[in-house]
Amino acid sequence: MDGPSGSGKSSVSRGVARALGLRYLDTGAMYRAMTWWMLGQGVDLADPAAVAARCGEPVLVSGTDPDGPAIHVDGVDVAGPIRESDVTGSVSAVAAVPEVRVRLVALQREIIGAGDIVVEGRDIGTVVWPEAAVKIYLTASPEARARRRSAEVAGTTAQAHQEAMARRDKLDSTRKTDPLSMAAGAVELDTTPLTLEEVIGEVLRLVKERT
């Protein structure tokens, strides 16, 4: 399940995994966890060489339970801190560093290799697991995406989210290594006019049809 921020990937992926009794992996959380660790270490995130030099150090452990996906860095539960604005504002710079991607993609492939899983990210269908049985590219209008995100985060406006998301999407889709793009053979689903239940229903239909 790939797509830009706020397109509904997490809610849809978790809902589909629950409905089918599958595991679930949030690859964005892994890039966020790496960013959280770099910030704590005082690494200069504007310097890709500095990020590359340190990215092998933290021990990342990702849970795969759709009801409460855990993520630990060096034994510390970071599920809360990785959603803070300092991490969100810096994650695209860290995720653009090729050495970071090589390391995290290897970890992701190890987890996916155990089978039966719904995986969300930006490059899952294109790079991480192109042989996936079902590939979905979720989209939604910028307004709908910002509205959903501001409903999730108390005290924030849709306008501020729309600007921040546009910045992040631009970085994610124009970077040199593994940019966000729709995979060959992916089904594009525009979630703008649909409820969460409708999107999950459509994905379940596609899964049934293709597996």
Kindly tell me which residue out of 1, 17, 38, 91 binds ligand C5P, with binding defined by CB under 6 A. Answer: 91
Give whichever of 165 and 203 is closer to ligand C5P, judged by the CB atom: 165
Residue 27 found at the interface with ligand C5P (CB under 6 A): yes
Residue 123 found at the interface with ligand C5P (CB under 6 A): yes
Q: In this structure, what are the phi and psi dihedrals at residue 76, rounded to the nearest 5 degrees? A: -100, 130
Q: Give the DSSP letter of residue 127.
A: I
* Rounded Cα–Cα distance for residues 167 and 145 (Å): 14
Residue 92 found at the interface with ligand C5P (CB under 6 A): yes
Residue 32 found at the interface with ligand C5P (CB under 6 A): yes
Give whichever of 143 and 205 is closer to ligand C5P, judged by the CB atom: 143
Q: What number of CA atoms fall less than 13 Å from residue 123's CA on the CB side?
A: 22
> Does residue 173 contact residue 179 with C-beta atoms inside 8 Å?
yes
Reduced DSSP (H G I as helix, E B as strand, rest coil) percent helix, strand, coil of the chain, to 5: 55, 10, 35
Stretch that binds ligand C5P, among 23-31, 73-81, 156-164, 194-202 (CB under 6 A): 23-31
Residue that is written with structure tokens 């995720």 in the block:
95
Residue 36 found at the interface with ligand C5P (CB under 6 A): no
Kindly tell me which residue out of 134, 161, 172, 199 binds ligand C5P, with binding defined by CB under 6 A. Answer: 172
Pairing, β 187-190 against β 136-139: parallel
Residue 103 found at the interface with ligand C5P (CB under 6 A): no
* Rounded Cα–Cα distance for residues 132 and 119 (Å): 10
- In order, the DSSP letters of 53-100 are HHTTSS-EEE---TTS--EEETTEE-TTGGGSHHHHHHHHHHHT-HHH
Q: For residue 189, what are the β-bridge partners?
A: 138
Give whichever of 31 and 137 is closer to ligand C5P, judged by the CB atom: 31
Stretch that binds ligand C5P, among 39-47, 60-68, 115-123, 153-161 (CB under 6 A): 115-123
Kindly tell me which residue out of 38, 73, 95, 164 binds ligand C5P, with binding defined by CB under 6 A. Answer: 95
Tell me: is residue 208 an annotated ligand-binding position: no
- In the complex, the residues that contact ligand C5P under the rule CB under 6 A are 5, 27-28, 31-32, 91-92, 95, 121-123, 168, 172
Residues annotated as binding site for ATP?
3-11
Residues annotated as binding site?
3-11
